[in-house]
Amino acid sequence: MPDLVVGVDGGNSKTDLVLADTEGRLLAWVRGEGTRPHTEGMEVTTRRLAELGRRALAAAGLPGTTPVSVGAYFLANVDRRAQERLALRQLTELGVAERTVVRNDTLAVLGAGAPDGWGVAVVSGAGINAAAVHPGGRSARFLSLGDITGDWGGGLAVARAGLGAAVRAGDGRGPATRLRRELPGLFGLGSVEAVALAVGDGDIPVTALHGLAPVVFATAAGGDVVARGIVERLGDEIVAMVTALLRRLRLLRTATPVVLGGGTLQNDHVLLRDHIGARLAVEAPLARPRVLDVAPVAGAVREALVVAGVSGGVQRRLRLGVAGGGAL
């Protein structure tokens, strides 16, 4: 019997776990809640991940006690080495795998989109982060603690900016925008002011605003100047991250893959993609941006196979399986 491996991509809003074997067969793909140890605690997070692993075994028709050879866990909001060590210790104690690897989720994007294992990866889902690996093995990353470390971006930031711009358009502080008409319908309310009040009163969770982001992108694509400015601001932040990492690793003069992953980057937002490409062409002309064409969990399960000593051919077979599969 071939050994089993697990690859996990834990994002802010959802976690994907793939169970596979060392012959490259995808046995199960399950989805759970996001990875939020900064608000829920690492113990809650790791226990939830262990339960997700048992769900995958059950989906594959295997007993929950079936041993897993390697587990590769690429987790959002695990941004410091100390957090990685804590998650590793707790996952090991929970017995999720015989060998366990813990990394930040940005590196899952890099592993899924840069076959040589080096380059820059940007994740823009509900939040935003980026990391880079030099061909020689050195790496660079950001503190990624939110506003206090200067972070802006991702779907939630786009949504909040859109709602704020719509309110400003109504009270005279900002220019007119169709966002005033387009945004309230998602919550069944009559105005953006009503949405803002509901958030302020706690009737609508702040995280629920993430659902407004696609409306902002669609309104921008329709030619709205204000919405377009928000989308371009996201592109500018992504370019700032990429160029900073290239500079820190002295890769500005090296043709470097730049992998763009996460919901706001993989959902074919042409305006955002073109803006990033145009800015990078000026600021980092040797950067080679590409939008990830597979779920980031492919990078996590690839790492599990690498740790298990599996050949490149098997890795490619499983990547194809992930590209054609979907979460249960």
The pLDDT of residue 79 is above 90: no
Name residue, tokens 């059950």.
58
Mean pLDDT of 190-202: 97
The band of 306, judged by pLDDT with boundaries at 50, 70 and 90, is: very high
Q: The sheet that has 4-10: what strands, in order across it? A: 26-33, 14-21, 4-10, 70-75, 99-104
The pLDDT of residue 328 is above 70: no
Segment 89-104, tens digit of pLDDT: 999 999 999 999 999 9
The band of 53, judged by pLDDT with boundaries at 50, 70 and 90, is: very high
Tally of residues, the chain: 328
CA distance 242 to 11: 20
Q: Which amino acid is at 305?
A: L
What pLDDT does residue 145 have? 87
Q: Which of 95, 120, 146 is nearest to 265 (CA)?
A: 120
What pLDDT does residue 149 have? 95
Contacts of 313 (CB under 8 A, 6+ apart): 24
* Buried b or exposed e, range 132-148, using 16+ CB within 10 angstroms: bbbeeeeebbbebeeee
The pLDDT of residue 17 is above 90: yes
Instruction: Between 152 and 268, name the one with better pLDDT.
Output: 152
The band of 115, judged by pLDDT with boundaries at 50, 70 and 90, is: confident
pTM above 0.85, yes or no: yes
Q: Cα–Cα–Cα angle for 65, 70, 74, nearest 5°?
A: 110
Average pLDDT, the chain: 96
DSSP-assigned letters across all residues of 263-309: HHHHS--HHHHHHHHHHHHHH-TTEEEEE--S-THHHHHHHHHHHTT
CA distance 263 to 125: 5
Tokens of 252: 């500005």
Alpha helices in the chain (DSSP H): 37-40, 42-59, 81-93, 106-113, 155-171, 179-182, 192-200, 213-221, 225-248, 263-266, 270-283, 297-307, 312-324
* Buried b or exposed e, range 206-242, using 16+ CB within 10 angstroms: eebbbebbbbbbebbeeebebbbebbbbbbebbbbbb
Q: Percent of the chain having pLDDT more than 90?
A: 91
Mean pLDDT of 102-109: 96
Exposure on the CB side of residue 142, measured as CA atoms within 13 A: 29
CA distance 107 to 121: 7
Q: Which of 127, 133, 162, 122 is nearest to 145 (CA)?
A: 127
Under 8 Å between Cβ of 49 and 91: yes
Mean pLDDT of 18-32: 97
